[in-house]
Structure 1
Amino acid sequence: MPATRRSLAPDLARGFMLLVIATVHAHMFRLATTGEGYALDGALDVAVTACMALFAENRGYPMFAALFGYGLAQIYLRRTAEGREWPWVRRLLRRRGRWLVAIGIAHTVLLFFGDIISVYGLIALLFAGVLRFTDRRLLTHAFAWMAVGSLVYALVNNVAFGAAKGEAQGAEATPLTDMVMRLVTLPFFWPLMIGISVFPFMVGIWAARRRLLEEPERHRALLRKAALFGIGAAVLGGIPQALINVEVWAPSAVVATGVFWVHLLVGYAGGFGYASAIALIALRMGERRGPVVAALAATGQRSMTCYLLQSVAWAVLIPPYMLGIAGSLTDAQAVGVGAAVWLGTVVLADLMRRAGFKQGPAEWFLRRMTYGRPAAAPVEGARAG
């Protein structure tokens, strides 16, 4: 689809969610580097840490997973509309999934332990068949994954990972030891992230069948309800976790696990609410495209490239053998660094757009590996002959 005819809402949503992801990661790096909890050094730090719990933490990945499901369903619907049989479409989707896994593993080896690209690739490989489910069967499976996957993730996060809080750091980190640690944790990271991503992935498929983001004018009432309820539920349901994060409340481990589970569940609602609100904003804008909107849409259109660029920034800024700035930051400063990294990717994405590149390098590579080299157009002389 030509860039000028792309639906605005999905690209705006991805561009905005990259901001959420960048600030959450930066905040997390500050926490993980010290192992001593959040800094909470003054009213600003407390306010920022609370706001991150209410509006950002575990709100970004559900929307990204939903958008991934939405995009995969679009591919399925377009190819079947062209008359392609299911075995051909399945092979296409699985080839795309395999290359996503390959890109994600390379991302993990070289840059970042929290890669999500390989997780989406595995979901494409394991769950391509759900694209043919009826709505009822699809949503039944989705809500089952929501309940079980989020509970398992909450248990592991608060019982296993929470036990490591405040422990003394081990041997001095090096590029090699960091790479080994990322690879060692990958087999444990994958099932946890799959467990909490399948639900929004399936909801994204359901939404794509109704073209909620491509035709928001037909779904205004539903989108308004989803935005109000989803964002409201995320904020209200996030208050207990925010109180824990700012150390106003120190519940038992069992209660803390339950609170975090609720935080994950309302995070799904928040992610869907953000997507709905952005669809309504895009609808209100109509055909208007100012420089800010164009830059945000360019970022969303190149979301994988911009996500990988964020990891390049973290690889330079965070490790102690590089700039190692995380431990010296306050909570507010860490979030500011995350926003600055995101803004840098927005500028780069917009420069690509202005230069005439319709895709980022990561998107170009994935498309080439999925579809192969495009057929060469016949030259005029050949047609005349």
Structure 2
Amino acid sequence: MMVDEGRPRFQGPLGLTGRAPGPDLARGFMLLLIALANTPFYLYGRAHSVAGFHPVDGSVADKIVQAVLITGADMRVYPMFAFLFGYGLAVIYRRQAAAGVPEHEAFRLLQRRNLWLLVFGFVHALLLWGGDVLGAYGLCGLVLVWLFVRRADRTLLIWAGLGATVLFLLAAMSVLGAVAVLASDGAVQAGGGMPDFVTDSASADNVLAAAAGRMMLWPFLVLGQGLLGLAVPVAILLGFWAARRRILEEPANHRRLLWVTAVGGIAIGWAGGLPHALAHIGVLGGLDQVMWVFSTTQMITGLACGIGYVALFGLIGDRLAGRPLGPVGSAVSAVGKRSLTSYLGQSVLCAPLLAAWGFGLGAELDSATMALFAIGVWLVTVAFAVWLERRGKPGPAETLLRRLIYRDRRPAPVSEAPGRSRAG
């Protein structure tokens, strides 16, 4: 398919209808978890755990909230996001091939998307949120598309397995190291706390100082939590593989795999996070000098949990296929369709209100009230997404990204897309 200039007519972004429900529901729910997982970063002016951003003190309600988030959200959301990101890249690549776009042009389209996502992440970090993940996914996308998008399914699984094995071995060695520290009766002491630049973007009362703190933190996350952290690349590769089999688009054909992944992944994730949660709130005592061990155990169990969450929503999508989503499901799906806008919108709502350079509410809230604040922020993005959905409009961030990526800027009508259901 060629345009008058002799360039390929790319298969444009999906429209807002005719989509498989599972991925959009997963993205919408994921954004609630993102809000809950990110906002504790703004609880500045108090002592924090060595292995996270949660305060080490608080009321009973605060401890409950901290335990729930450590068990079910912390280090579980970004692998979920990464899997869906990889799945979406593979769907885009597949749709270009079905539209007759030459392979090298489809490859360039994906890389242009990843590059612009990296730019979005840089601007996001510079202006609002140093914990931005868009840059990490954009960089991982650039590398993994280059290395793997044309490779066989078996290759994807082998490399994903190798990455997961390395994460498991790192966690195992950390556990052995922690046991050695405890056996030495504390003779070996753990390092204390996080570097100041990690929390400067929340606690600095000067706008420029906060921006400098964010720009010191962001490259560390792009490389450390992203490309070199392994959990994100592994999740993206598994997303590539799953999209080739249309697992989320045709969940009825993959129910057994989805059940095993959902039950096993979530069980591993919650069981792996529970010791960290109990140690943090003081129920499991005697681990103060080895709290750093959970930084690695949470990575491997979080990878399993995040993919388990995706599988759960694949099963939910299977149950809802061909049925009305209802008001709640439709609202969550509307957010999922506009996940980029909703993600950036959270920072627009959070940073000026919570950071010290803004209204400084982060110093006044505690873990429980911050969780309520996070839920409120998510509900605001839900309301905005529903308003756009009723008008048949995509989110503004999605519109801008699509205009930067696609030459044909119109979403593809439902009738043009191959197959009966699509992931978005």
Could you tell me the TM-score, scaled by structure 1's length? Answer: 0.88
Q: Is contact 2:204-2:357 (8 Å) kept?
A: no
SS of equivalent to 1:5: coil
Q: Distance in 2 between matches of 1:172 and 1:298?
A: 35
1:206-231 deviation line (CA, Å, top 9, x unaligned): 11111111001111111111111111
SS of equivalent to 1:84: coil
SS of equivalent to 2:17: helix
- Kindly provide the amino acid, as one letter, of the partner of residue 184 in structure 1: M
1:54-102 deviation line (CA, Å, top 9, x unaligned): 1111111111000000000001111122333322111111111111111
Matches within 5 A, 1:289-328: 289-328=325-364
Query: Aligned pair 1:264/2:276, yes or no?
Result: no
Q: Distance in 2 between matches of 1:91 and 1:11?
A: 26
Q: Distance in 2 between matches of 1:374 and 1:26?
A: 35
Q: Who is 2:37 aligned against?
A: 24
SS of equivalent to 1:3: coil
Q: Who is 2:103 aligned against?
A: 86
Q: CA RMSD in A?
A: 2.6
- Kindly provide the amino acid, as one letter, of the partner of residue 19 in structure 2: R
- Kindly provide the amino acid, as one letter, of the partner of residue 275 in structure 1: V
Q: Is contact 1:24-1:56 (8 Å) kept?
A: yes
Query: Aligned pair 1:145/2:163, yes or no?
Result: yes
Q: Distance in 2 between matches of 1:182 and 1:163?
A: 14
Q: Who is 2:184 aligned against?
A: none
SS of equivalent to 1:329: coil
- Kindly provide the amino acid, as one letter, of the partner of residue 141 in structure 2: A
Change (3 A) 1:39 1:343: farther
User: Of residues 4, 12, 34 in structure 1, which corresponds to 2:46?
Assistant: 34
Q: Distance in 2 between matches of 1:83 and 1:159?
A: 57
Q: Who is 2:142 aligned against?
A: 125
User: Of residues 263, 271, 275 in structure 1, which corresponds to 2:310?
Assistant: 275
Gaps of 5+ in 2: 1-13, 50-54, 175-188, 411-424
Cα deviation for residue 257 of structure 1 reads 3.5
Q: Is contact 1:149-1:192 (8 Å) kept?
A: no
SS of equivalent to 2:100: coil
- Kindly provide the amino acid, as one letter, of the partner of residue 149 in structure 2: L
Matches within 5 A, 1:83-232: 83-129=100-146, 130-148=148-166, 151=170, 162-164=193-195, 172-194=204-226, 195=229, 196-232=231-267
Cα deviation for residue 251 of structure 1 reads 2.2
Moved more, 363-372 or 131-140: 131-140
Q: Is contact 1:231-1:270 (8 Å) kept?
A: yes
Gaps of 5+ in 1: 376-385
1:317-362 deviation line (CA, Å, top 9, x unaligned): 21123111112212111111111111110111111111221x1011
Q: Who is 2:7 aligned against?
A: none
* Greater percentage in helix: 1
Q: Distance in 2 between matches of 1:168 and 1:53?
A: 19
Could you tell me the TM-score, scaled by structure 2's length? Answer: 0.81
Q: Distance in 2 between matches of 1:374 and 1:244?
A: 51
Cα deviation for residue 172 of structure 1 reads 5.0
Q: Who is 2:270 aligned against?
A: 235
Q: Who is 2:23 aligned against?
A: 10
Matches within 5 A, 1:42-57: 42-57=59-74
1:120-173 deviation line (CA, Å, top 9, x unaligned): 111221111311122222122223333446849x98xx97783548x9989953
Change (3 A) 1:161 1:82: farther
Cα deviation for residue 310 of structure 1 reads 0.2
1:7-37 deviation line (CA, Å, top 9, x unaligned): 111000000000001011112322x442345
Q: Who is 1:379 aligned against?
A: none
Q: Who is 1:66 aligned against?
A: 83
Cα deviation for residue 186 of structure 1 reads 2.6
Q: Distance in 2 between matches of 1:4 and 1:217?
A: 20
Q: Is contact 2:124-2:132 (8 Å) kept?
A: yes
Aligned residues: 368
Q: Distance in 1 between matches of 2:19 and 2:45?
A: 41
Q: Is contact 1:69-1:204 (8 Å) kept?
A: yes
Q: Percent identity?
A: 37
Q: Who is 1:382 aligned against?
A: none
Q: Is contact 2:334-2:385 (8 Å) kept?
A: yes
Q: Distance in 1 between matches of 2:272 and 2:326?
A: 35
SS of equivalent to 2:75: coil
